[in-house]
C-alpha cells in the first residue's frame, strides 16, 4: 500500500472492493444532491426575504441539528446493522426533501423539514464511517478515507458549481426534487452493494433497559473523546472550520455585492470545495511522514487567506481566495482518519457522531454569526473578520495538538498514527 518515497498508494486496491465502491458512489450522489439543495435553499430564502440574515439562518439549519443528532442518534450505527441504518435514513430523507419541494411551502415548515433531514445525517454518516472501517483492510483505511473525503468535496464542487445553473433552470423546487431522488439512489446502492453484518453492540431487550443502554453509550462516547488529549485536539482542529465557513454562509449576499446572480453563488461555493479536492490529492501523494505535520499550519492558512477579502476584491480574485482556503482545509482528511483509527469499533459510530456534532455546531454557529454580522457590515468585511479570528483559533488548536503529540505515554495500547498505519 506504500509507494516509493514513503508515499501511500492503495487507491486502486480500495476501489477494487465492491462494497467500498457502493459506499463511494452512494456518498457522491447524496453529496451532489445536498449541495444542490443548499444552493436552492439559499436562493429561495434570499429571494423571498431579501435578508442575508434569514438566508444564513436557513443555511445554518443544515448544520445545527447535529447538536442533537450527533450525540443521540449516532449510536444507532453501533446498536443496529449499519447497512440498515443507512438505508432507512436515506428513505426518510427522500420523503422529507420531497415535501420541501412542494411549491409555496411556508418557510417555517421548510425550516422544520430541513432540521428533520439533517438530524438523520448523523446516524447515516456515523454508520458510513464505521462501515468503511469494516469494509476496508486496516492499512487501506487511509486511502479509503481519503477517497471518500475527495468524493465529498468533488461532489460539492459539482453540486455547488452546477447548482446555480440548475436552480436557475429548474427553480428551487425542481432542484430539491433532484436531491430527494439522490437519497433514493443512495438507498439502493447501499442496500444492494454492501453485505449483511450484525450490529456492533447488541441492543437491550426491554424498553427501560434500551433507554439505559442508550444513555450509557452516549456517556461512554463523551468520556472517550473528552478524556483523550489527542481526540480532543483533533476535534478542536476540525472546529476551526466554523470560521472559514463564513464565505460559504454569505455566498448569496456576497455574490449580490459583487454584482452576480445564482451562477455566482454556485461559483463561490464551488471554489472552496474545488480547492479541498486539490488539497486532498496533494496530501494523498505526499510522503507519509509529512501528513501529521500539516495539522498545525494548514488550518491557520485556511483562515488567514480570507484576510484578503478585506480589500473588497473582484469576483475572480475572491474565487482564488476561496480556492486557496479550500486547499488548506484538506488537513481534515488526516485528522478524521486519525480519529477513526484511534476509536474501537464498538464505540466508533458514537464517537464519530460526537466529533461531527462539535464540527457541525461550530460551523452552524459560524454561519449564524456571519449572517447576523452581515446585517450591519458588508459581506467581504465579515469574511475577512472571520479569517482573522479563525487564524487565532487555529493557532490555539494547533498548540493543543502539539502538546498532546508530545505525550506518547498517554497513548493507549494499539494507538497508531495515520502515517504509521499507512507505512506498514
Q: How many helices (H) and strands (E) does the chain have?
A: 21, 0
Per the CB < 8 A criterion, the answer to whether 421 and 145 are in contact is no
Residue 248 inside a domain? The answer is: yes
Q: Is residue 422 part of a domain?
A: no
Pairwise CA distance, residues 219 & 11, whole Å:
36
Residues ≥6 apart with Cβ < 8 Å to 7: 285, 286, 287, 288
- Cα–Cα dist 250/237, whole Å: 23
CA dihedral (377, 118, 264, 312) in degrees, to 10, reads 30
Output the nine-digit C-alpha cell for 25. Answer: 458512489
Containing structural domain, residue 322: 6-196+206-409
CA dist., res. 313 & res. 126, Å (int) = 40
212 located within any domain: yes
Cell readout for 365 is 454557529
Instruction: Give ∠ CA 282-288-290 in degrees, rounded to 5.
Output: 75
In angstroms, rounded to a whole number, what is the distance separating the alpha carbons of residues 305 and 310? 10
Total domains in the fold of the chain:
1
CATH of the domain at 171: 1.20.1250.20
Residues 66-97 have pLDDT tens digits of: 666 666 677 777 788 889 999 999 999 999 98
- Does residue 42 lie within any of the structural domains? yes
Q: Which three cell numbers stand for residue 351?
A: 464517537
| 162 inside domain | yes
**Helix ranges, 1-81 (H):** 11-15, 18-49, 52-60, 66-68, 76-79
What's this model's pTM, rounded to 2 decimal places?
Answer: 0.64
Strand partners, 287: 7
Q: DSSP state, 69?
A: I
> CA dist 406 to 254, 316, 399, 402, Å?
42, 42, 11, 6
> How many Cβ atoms are within 10 Å of 54's Cβ, its own excluded?
17
In a domain, 418, yes or no: no
Q: Is residue 386 in a domain?
A: yes
| Cell output for 348 | 466508533
Question: Which three cell numbers mark 128?
Answer: 458510513
Cβ within 8 Å of residue 406, ≥6 positions away: none
Q: How far is CA 104 from CA 41, 43, 274, in A?
A: 13, 14, 33
Residue 89, C-alpha cell as written in the block: 435514513
Dist. CA 69–CA 74, nearest whole Å? 7
pLDDT digits (tens, 9 = 90+) for 150-181: 777 666 666 666 667 777 787 788 888 888 99
**Nearest by Cα to 230 from 18, 410, 11:** 410
Q: Could you tell me if 416 and 89 are in contact, meaning their C-beta atoms sit under 8 angstroms apart?
A: no
**Residue ranges of the chain whose pLDDT lies below 50:** 1-9, 204-210, 409-424
**337 membership: H or E segment, kind and range:** helix 331-342
Looking at residue 289, the DSSP 8-state letter turns out to be G
Is 84 part of any domain?
yes
Bin 60: left if φ > 0, else alpha if -120 < ψ < 50, else beta.
Answer: alpha
Amino acid at each position: 500500500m506504500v509507494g516509493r518515497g514513503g508515499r501511500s498508494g492503495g487507491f486502486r486496491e480500495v476501489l477494487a472492493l465492491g462494497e467500498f465502491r457502493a459506499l463511494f458512489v452512494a456518498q457522491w450522489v447524496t453529496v451532489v444532491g445536498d449541495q444542490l439543495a443548499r444552493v436552492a435553499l439559499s436562493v429561495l430564502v434570499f429571494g423571498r426575504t431579501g435578508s442575508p440574515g434569514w438566508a444564513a439562518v436557513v443555511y445554518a439549519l443544515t448544520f445545527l441539528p447535529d447538536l442533537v443528532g450527533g450525540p443521540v442518534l449516532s449510536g444507532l450505527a453501533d446498536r443496529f446493522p449499519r447497512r440498515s441504518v443507512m438505508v432507512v435514513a436515506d428513505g426518510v430523507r427522500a420523503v422529507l426533501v420531497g415535501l420541501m419541494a412542494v411549491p409555496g411551502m411556508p418557510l417555517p415548515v421548510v425550516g422544520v423539514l430541513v432540521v428533520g433531514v439533517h438530524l438523520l445525517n448523523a446516524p447515516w454518516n456515523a454508520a458510513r464511517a464505521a462501515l468503511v472501517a469494516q469494509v476496508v483492510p486496516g492499512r487501506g483505511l487511509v486511502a479509503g478515507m481519503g477517497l471518500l473525503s475527495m468524493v465529498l468535496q468533488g461532489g460539492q464542487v459539482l453540486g455547488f458549481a452546477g447548482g446555480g445553473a440548475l436552480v436557475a433552470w429548474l427553480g428551487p423546487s425542481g432542484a430539491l426534487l433532484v436531491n430527494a431522488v439522490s437519497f433514493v439512489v443512495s438507498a439502493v446502492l447501499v442496500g444492494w452493494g454492501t453485505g449483511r453484518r450484525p450490529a456492533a453492540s447488541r441492543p437491550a431487550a426491554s424498553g427501560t433497559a434500551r433507554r439505559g443502554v442508550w444513555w450509557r453509550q452516549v456517556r461512554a462516547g463523551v468520556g472517550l473523546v473528552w478524556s483523550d488529549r489527542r481526540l480532543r485536539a483533533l476535534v478542536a482542529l476540525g472546529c476551526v472550520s466554523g470560521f472559514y465557513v463564513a464565505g460559504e454562509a454569505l455566498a448569496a449576499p456576497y455574490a449580490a455585492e459583487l454584482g452576480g446572480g445564482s451562477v455566482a453563488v454556485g461559483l463561490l461555493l464551488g471554489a472552496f470545495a474545488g480547492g479541498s479536492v486539490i488539497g486532498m490529492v496533494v496530501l494523498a501523494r505526499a510522503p507519509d511522514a509529512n501528513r501529521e505535520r500539516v495539522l498545525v499550519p494548514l488550518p491557520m492558512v485556511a483562515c488567514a487567506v480570507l484576510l484578503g477579502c478585506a480589500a473588497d476584491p473582484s469576483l475572480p480574485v475572491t474565487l482564488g481566495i476561496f480556492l486557496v482556503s479550500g486547499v488548506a482545509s484538506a488537513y481534515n482528511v488526516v485528522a478524521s482518519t486519525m480519529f477513526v483509527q484511534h476509536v474501537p469499533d464498538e464505540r466508533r459510530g458514537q464517537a464519530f457522531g460526537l466529533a461531527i456534532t462539535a464540527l457541525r455546531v461550530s460551523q452552524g454557529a459560524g454561519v449564524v454569526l456571519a449572517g447576523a454580522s452581515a446585517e450591519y457590515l458588508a459581506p467581504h468585511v465579515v469574511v475577512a473578520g472571520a479569517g482573522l479570528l479563525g487564524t487565532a483559533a487555529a493557532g490555539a488548536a494547533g498548540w493543543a495538538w502539539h502538546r498532546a503529540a508530545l505525550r506518547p505515554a498517554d497513548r493507549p495500547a494499539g494507538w497508531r498514527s495515520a502515517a504509521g498505519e499507512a507505512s506498514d
